[in-house]
A and B are shown apart, each in its own frame.
Chain A
Amino acid sequence: EAGVTQFPSHSVIEKGQTVTLRCDPISGHDNLYWYRRVMGKEIKFLLHFVKESKQDESGMPNNRFLAERTGGTYSTLKVQPAELEDSGVYFCASSRDSNQPQHFGDGTRLSIL
């Protein structure tokens, strides 16, 4: 089966611009998670979808970040406007149910100049 797919793999934008990251979970996985690693630190949780509903968004850093999962399939994470501290690697993960292991994509490396 195909794994979690993230697009783009790399994105370089200027401060103040908008960027949208996309994640396609493994087919049949209702649970979708966003994480990020910034400044070489640990991977940190951002939010969790169950189908199209936001189950937990306690890790979202501020209102410049907007995540959507319309139709309960793929998800997008929009950063608007981007700030320098948003640079890092954004990972998406999915699981069949919330008690199953989370499987990760290869991430989107975001650089804000």
Chain B
Amino acid sequence: EDQVTQSPEALRLQEGESSSLNCSYTVSGLRGLFWYRQDPGKGPEFLFTLYSAGEEKEKERLKATLTKKESFLHITAPKPEDSATYLCAVQYSSGSARQLTFGSGTQLTVLP
């Protein structure tokens, strides 16, 4: 069964303390890996799409990387406004299926 596992479940950082979130997947035939940010009471907000191993994407303090088995979301010098739940989702190649398979998320808290 295709699975997406995120770690850690929760992460508390001091402002300016860089760290990484992990997303490992067991799907065969990856079509794309997506990172979303979700604030309480809101829907997931799209951040990045990665399609192939070795690919990297950056946006402000966030950088996403992809290998054949996992993806990392690196947060450099985070600020309190970066506090949110970060979700990883995989879209796999299976005929016409385009559904996303989500991980359970990492709840990030950045303390001032």
The 6 A-B residue pairs whose C-beta atoms are closest, nearest first, are: A104-B43, A45-B99, A43-B102, A98-B98, A106-B43, A104-B44
Q: How many residues of A contact B (CB 8 A)?
A: 25
Q: A55-B96, A106-B41 are in contact. Are A44 and B46 (CB under 8 A)?
A: no
Q: Does B104 interact with chain A (Cβ within 8 Å)?
A: yes
Interface range, B side: 20 to 34
Chain B residue numbers with a CB within 8 Å of A99 are 32, 98
User: What's the minimum C-beta distance from A21 to chain B, rounded to whole angstroms?
Assistant: 13
Q: How long is the Cα–Cα vector from A106 to B49 in the complex, in angstroms?
A: 20
Give per-residue flags for B82-100: 1 if the beta carbon is below 8 A from chain A beta carbons, else 0.
0000010100000011111
* 28 interchain pairs, CB-CB under 8 A: A35-B100, A35-B102, A42-B4, A43-B44, A43-B87, A43-B89, A43-B102, A44-B102, A45-B99, A48-B99, A55-B98, A56-B97, A56-B98, A56-B99, A58-B97, A91-B43, A93-B43, A99-B98, A101-B34, A102-B46, A104-B44, A104-B45, A104-B46, A106-B41, A106-B42, A106-B43, A107-B42, A107-B43
